[in-house]
Amino acid sequence: MRPAFTLVWLFAALAAVLLAGCGPDEFSQAERQAIAGLSLDKLPKLPPSPTNAHADDPAAAALGATLFFDRGLSANGEVACATCHVIDRQFQDGLALARGIGTTNRRTMPLAGVAWSPWFFWDGRKDSLWSQALAPMENPVEHGSTRTFYARYVAGRYGERYARIFGPLPDLTGAPAAAGPLGSAGERAAWQAMPQPQRDGVDRLFANLGKAIEAFERSLVHAPTRFDRFAAALEGGKTPAPGAALTEEEKLGLKLFIGKANCVTCHNGPRFTDDHFHNTGVPPVAGLPQDLGRLTAVRQVADDPFNCLGRFSDAADEAACGELRFMVKDGEVLVRAYKTPSLRGVAGRAPYMHSGQFEDLDAVLDHYSRAPAPPSGASELHPLTLSERERKALIAFLGTLSQDD
């Protein structure tokens, strides 16, 4: 036999080995177990928010909902939380880089199931949802105003509702219209000139603004999709009903997802995320400043006065702050590491990655297949060989994680 022919047979044998077990008709016991673990009915109940005493107070949630949509909470009267977290678009905006007063460096994250997350923002620079909600308020390119502005605005417009939930408003007599520790030089100087008790009062009101928003955001949850109905039928040993069936292509995609493609390594559990940070070699975006991801964030969250261990936290003791106390604080593993996003609803949420680097899922799969060298740090990816059919199958499966797909 000619060597070239031998090689053809070798290739065929290798392909057969690789494809073995990929027949879409049957799922092994291990696969069934993996599929059940992704099902939304396995989601634990809403975890408590020990740093926010008002997290489950309906009045706080109602005020939070009002604040979430209030464009008055911005320097130009045009930016609300809902500007980027758009209610009918999975609470995200479909843009590569979020736009408030200016343009940010990051992609807006969707909010369903956000209250199950231990860390917030792509790099986890916040350790509670209420503390997260504060950061865009003082970011010049998002809501863009100052701490005293927000205190005066909330006191003036929502004072009675606020006081019923959080107690007496602080004394804002003589408080500057625009002062805060993160503003311009003038705003910072005005903040420093305020009496300490008044600064404390403003800080506390500001923290409570976030706590009300968190109470509202805790109500934002994932709804079951066709995948969940399929998983329930599979687990119950039943034939999936018409609205619960997956096509052969989608089943192949599911097998790849939990098998050869190793997606489930990080996109695990009912929310399809391990809530952790990974360098996957995502390229930088031209024109944006250097972005080191988690490496920068661990310092920020450790120093944050609004963190779990800070004086605005309602945690009874440090036992509630395990994520912060035991976070990995240094090492190459943090360089350009970003949070694993949930894949629920992912098909309707282009573009992808922390700065919207990839415009569609095909580009994402292309990246995971090539596993390119990272701009810095060490990528956790290994090259992956996917046929055209397998790529399409994976994308088809991801579509079953959207409502009304």
Partner 1 sequence: MARAGRVWRWGLVAVAAGLAVAVAVHFWMMRVPADLDLSRDKTSQEHLYRVALAPEAEPLRQGPMQSLVVSVSTADGRPVEDATIGIDGGMPQHGHGLPTSPAVTAYLGGGRYRMEGIKFNMAGWWELKLSISAPPGDDRVTFNLRL
Contact residues: partner 1, CB under 8 A: 3-4, 7, 10-11, 14, 17-18, 37, 265-266, 268-269, 274-276, 322-323, 325-329, 333, 380, 382-383, 385
Question: Minimal distance in Å, beta carbon 388 to partner 1?
Answer: 18
**C-beta of residue 31 within 8 angstroms of C-beta of residue 255:** yes
Strand partners, 352: 358
Question: Minimal distance in Å, beta carbon 280 to partner 1?
Answer: 12
> SS3 for 122?
coil
**C-beta of residue 234 within 8 angstroms of C-beta of residue 244:** no
Q: Which is nearer to partner 1, 316 or 328 (CB)?
A: 328
For residue 373, the 8-state DSSP code is: P
Q: Which is nearer to partner 1, 339 or 354 (CB)?
A: 339
Question: Minimal distance in Å, beta carbon 42 to partner 1?
Answer: 11
Q: Which is nearer to partner 1, 314 or 323 (CB)?
A: 323
Question: Minimal distance in Å, beta carbon 256 to partner 1?
Answer: 14
Q: Which is nearer to partner 1, 325 or 370 (CB)?
A: 325
Question: Minimal distance in Å, beta carbon 10 to partner 1?
Answer: 5
Q: Find all residues with CB under 8 Å of 42, minimum gap 6, and list them.
A: 36, 269, 270
Question: Minimal distance in Å, beta carbon 274 to partner 1?
Answer: 4
**C-beta of residue 345 within 8 angstroms of C-beta of residue 110:** yes
Two structure tokens written together for 240: 């999936």
How far, in Å, CA of 147 to CA of 153, rounded?
A: 10
Question: Minimal distance in Å, beta carbon 259 to partner 1?
Answer: 10
What separation in angstroms does the CA of 294 have from each of 80, 86, 122, 149? 27, 26, 8, 31
> SS3 for 222?
coil
Q: Which is nearer to partner 1, 25 or 303 (CB)?
A: 303
How far, in Å, CA of 375 to CA of 353, rounded?
A: 15
Give the relative orientation of helices 58-68 and 196-217 as an angle to the nearest 10 degrees. Answer: 90
**C-beta of residue 31 within 8 angstroms of C-beta of residue 258:** yes
> SS3 for 352?
strand
Cβ burial of 154 (10 Å; 0-12, 13-18, 19+) is buried
Q: Which is nearer to partner 1, 223 or 328 (CB)?
A: 328
Q: Which is nearer to partner 1, 309 or 333 (CB)?
A: 333
Q: Which is nearer to partner 1, 196 or 326 (CB)?
A: 326
How far, in Å, CA of 201 to CA of 169, rounded?
A: 8
Two structure tokens written together for 75: 């320097």
Question: Minimal distance in Å, beta carbon 389 to partner 1?
Answer: 18
> SS3 for 306?
coil
**C-beta of residue 247 within 8 angstroms of C-beta of residue 400:** no
Question: Minimal distance in Å, beta carbon 295 to partner 1?
Answer: 15
Residue 120 φ then ψ, to 5°: -130, 155
For residue 274, the 8-state DSSP code is: -
Q: Which is nearer to partner 1, 148 or 273 (CB)?
A: 273
Q: Label residue 21 left, alpha or beta by phi (over 0 means left) and psi (-120 to 50 means alpha).
A: left
Nearest to 258 by CA among 357, 365, 397: 397
Q: Which is nearer to partner 1, 57 or 323 (CB)?
A: 323
Question: Minimal distance in Å, beta carbon 326 to partner 1?
Answer: 3
Q: Which is nearer to partner 1, 240 or 269 (CB)?
A: 269
Question: Minimal distance in Å, beta carbon 115 to partner 1?
Answer: 15
